[in-house]
């Protein structure tokens, strides 16, 4: 493709030799033969018009189902191989990046015609394709709502009420466990969140683990040693560390409910506040 064809021509201004790249001959609009000389003569007398070519091409593309925008550029090399070009009237709407392959005509391949096409990505789909895409989109939305409803239903079936000591059940690792405190307070273990209908408080991982420990303990009671073993297994810490952590959990509970943690002889208990509590 890098080689060139030598073409000798004679005109009124004299004789001249031209080097024509083989890629132009490869993209010649017709069989490159002796008739190419007649093509040069005819095009010199009757130059191609970009608007006329664009109109004919547009009708052809519409018949094939293409509804985008097009443009045509006609380029001509003079005897001194200086290029001039003309664009069709709607060329302002088409970027050069949309250009297609150029075709050539003439003994020197001096006339080049380049087509440009542009369409939005939606125009690349047929009506059948658009219907299928819409159905797929609709199915995706339905699956999202079905999955959302299923998750809500699954959460409700796993609520653990605190009127009595909650039973620890074995659930699947991906299941969500929610404790219901008997009123409008809930505790989502996986989300580490205390919430009511109007409020919610996010718990730190350590506080979430401590609250779950109270809920799974008998009568919701944990001693200082049990709390240390639950939160800091293998470490010998001072009691004030436990008191500080319990105090943080107590504060979170008070923000969304009237549940509290009371201290009785080095044993903490989670219970609902009564009229006798200050």
Class of domain 158-272: mainly alpha
- Contacts of residue 202, defined as CB under 8 A and 6 or more positions apart, other chains included, come to 191, 192, 193
DSSP per-residue letters across the chain: ---EEEEEEEETTEEEEEEEEHHHHHTBSS--STHHHHHHHHHHHS---HHHHHHHHHHHHHHTT--SEEEEEEEEE-TT--EEEEE-TTGGGS-GGGEEEEEEESTT--EEEEEEEE--GGGGS-HHHHHHHHHHHHHHHHHHHHHHHHHHHHHHHTEEESSSPPPP----TT---EEE-SSS-EEETTTTEEE-SS-EEEPPHHHHHHHHHHHHSGGGEEEHHHHHHHHSTT----HHHHHHHHHHHHHHHHHH-SEEEEESSSEEEEEE--TT--
CA 198 – CA 152 distance, rounded (Å): 18
| pLDDT over 70 at 188, yes or no | yes
**pLDDT bracket for residue 172 (50, 70, 90):** very low
Domain boundaries, the chain: 23-123, 125-157, 158-272
**What is the pLDDT, as a whole number, of residue 168?**
38
More confident residue, 170 or 115: 115
CA 276 – CA 274 distance, rounded (Å): 5
CA 54 – CA 117 distance, rounded (Å): 11
Q: What is the percentage of the chain residues whose pLDDT exceeds 90? A: 13
Among 230, 225, 262, 267, CA closest to 247: 262
Mean pLDDT on 152-160 = 59
**pLDDT bracket for residue 207 (50, 70, 90):** very high
**pLDDT bracket for residue 64 (50, 70, 90):** confident
224-273 pLDDT, tens per residue? 889 888 888 877 777 788 889 999 999 999 898 888 899 887 899 998 87
**pLDDT bracket for residue 123 (50, 70, 90):** low
Considering 89-98, 158-167, 173-182, 256-265, the range whose residues carry the highest mean pLDDT is: 256-265
């Amino acid at each position: 493709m890098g080689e060139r064809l030598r073409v000798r021509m004679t005109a009124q201004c004299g004789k001249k030799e031209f080097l024509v790249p083989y890629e132009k001959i490869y993209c010649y609009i017709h069989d490159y033969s002796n008739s190419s000389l007649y093509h040069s003569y005819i095009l010199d007398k009757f130059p191609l018009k970009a608007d006329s070519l664009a109109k004919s091409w547009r009708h052809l593309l519409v018949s094939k189902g293409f509804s985008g925008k097009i443009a045509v550029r006609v380029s001509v090399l003079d005897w001194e191989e200086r290029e001039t070009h003309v664009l069709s009237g709607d060329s302002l709407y088409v970027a050069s990046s949309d250009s297609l392959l150029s075709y050539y005509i003439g003994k020197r391949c001096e006339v080049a015609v380049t087509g440009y096409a542009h369409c939005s990505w939606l125009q690349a789909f047929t009506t059948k394709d658009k219907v299928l895409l819409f159905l797929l989109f609709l199915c995706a939305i339905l699956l999202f709502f079905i999955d959302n409803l299923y998750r809500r239903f699954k959460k409700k079936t796993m609520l653990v009420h605190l009127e009595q000591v909650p039973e620890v059940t074995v659930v699947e690792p991906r299941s969500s466990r929610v404790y219901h405190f008997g009123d409008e307070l809930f505790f989502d273990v996986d989300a580490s969140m205390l919430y009511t209908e109007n409020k919610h408080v996010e718990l730190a991982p350590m506080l979430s683990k401590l609250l779950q420990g109270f809920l799974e303990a008998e009568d919701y009671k944990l001693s200082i040693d049990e709390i240390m073993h639950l939160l800091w297994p293998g470490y010998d810490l001072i009691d004030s560390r436990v008191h500080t952590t319990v105090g943080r959990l107590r504060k979170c509970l008070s923000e969304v409910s009237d549940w509290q943690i009371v201290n009785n002889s080095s044993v903490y208990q989670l219970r609902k506040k009564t009229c006798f509590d200050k």
